[in-house]
A and B are shown apart, each in its own frame.
Chain A
Amino acid sequence: QITLRESGPTLVKPTQTLTLTCTFSGFSLSTNGVGVGWIRQPPGKAPEWLALIYGNGNKRYRPSLRGRLTIARATSTNQVVLTMTNMDPVDTATYYCVHNERGPTVVIWEYWGQGTLVTVSS
C-alpha cells in the first residue's frame, strides 16, 4: 500500500524559506521510473505542479519557479524534501506530495498525500 505524508510549518513569514518533507512508504524511489513530486493548490484555485525527482537523481522544476525551488532526497531513503525560498503571501497554498511510477516520460499522479496548508503571513 502506497502512502505519502507531508510535514512542515503551517505558517511562514514573507521572505523566509519553506522546507517541506514528504515521508512515503509502499515503494522505493530507487525503482526505475518511480518519482516523487510536489504540487500546490492555492485556496479556491487549480493545482500547480512544482517539482519532481526520480531515483536516478533526475530532477525537474516548474520553469517559472526554478530559481526558488530545490527538491532532494533526504538522508532517510523514504523521504523527499522541497525547499522554496523567498516566500510571499501568494505562495499560500495546500502543498501535496505525489507519486509517479511511470516516469520519466509518463507523468500520472496516481497517489497523493493528504496535503498540508502553508500560510505566508507576517
Chain B
Amino acid sequence: DIQMTQSPSSLSVSVGDRVTITCQASQDISNYVNWYQQKPGKAPELLIYDASRLQLGVPSRFSGSRSGTYFTFTISNLQPEDIATYYCQQYDNLPPYNFGQGTKLEIK
C-alpha cells in the first residue's frame, strides 16, 4: 500500500496567514494527489486535483504543488471560512486510495 504522511496534524492560524500543509507519499505517485476540505458534520469537498489543478469554483487562494514524493497544499491569505480539516488523497494505479491523516486548522 502507498502511505501518505501528512503534517502537521494541527495548526493554529490567524486570518490573513499563509498556511502550508505537506503530504509525503511512500513511493513515487507522479501527480496523483487530491486535496479535500472538511468542515464539522459535512462531507469532504474537493479543492485540488492532480496535485495542482484547482477545482472549478474553488477560490484562487488555494493551491497545490509537487516536488518528487512531497505534495504541498497552500492557503494564501487565510479567511475565516477556511477553518476546517484538510486531507490529501492518492490514487496511484492500484488501490487502496489512501488519505493522509488530516490537518486541523484552529484559530489562534
Chain A residues with CB below 8 A from B46, complex form? 108-110
Q: How many residues of A contact B (CB 8 A)?
A: 21
Chain B residues with CB below 8 A from A108, complex form? 34, 46, 49-50, 91
Would you call B91 and A106 a contact (CB within 8 A)? yes
Would you call B93 and A49 a contact (CB within 8 A)? no
Chain A residues with CB below 8 A from B96, complex form? 49, 62-64
Q: Which of A46, A61, A105, A112 contacts B43 (CB 8 A)?
A: A112
| Residue B89 CB within 8 A of the other chain | yes
| Residue B74 CB within 8 A of the other chain | no
CA–CA, A113 and B93, complex, Å: 25
Would you call A60 and B95 a contact (CB within 8 A)? yes
For the A-B complex with A109-B34, A109-B44 known, give 17 more contacts whose Cβ atoms are closer than 8 Å: A46-B102, A47-B89, A47-B99, A48-B98, A49-B96, A52-B95, A60-B95, A61-B95, A62-B95, A63-B1, A63-B95, A106-B32, A106-B50, A106-B91, A109-B89, A112-B44, A114-B43
CB closest residue in chain A, given B85 = A46
Name B21-60 residues within 8 Å CB distance of A.
Answer: 32, 34, 36, 43-46, 49-50, 55
Q: How many residues of B contact A (CB 8 A)?
A: 23
List residues of A whose CB falls within 8 A of some B CB.
46-49, 52, 60-64, 96, 105-110, 112-115
Would you call A105 and B99 a contact (CB within 8 A)? no
Chain A residues with CB below 8 A from B34, complex form? 108-109
Chain A residues with CB below 8 A from B99, complex form? 46-49
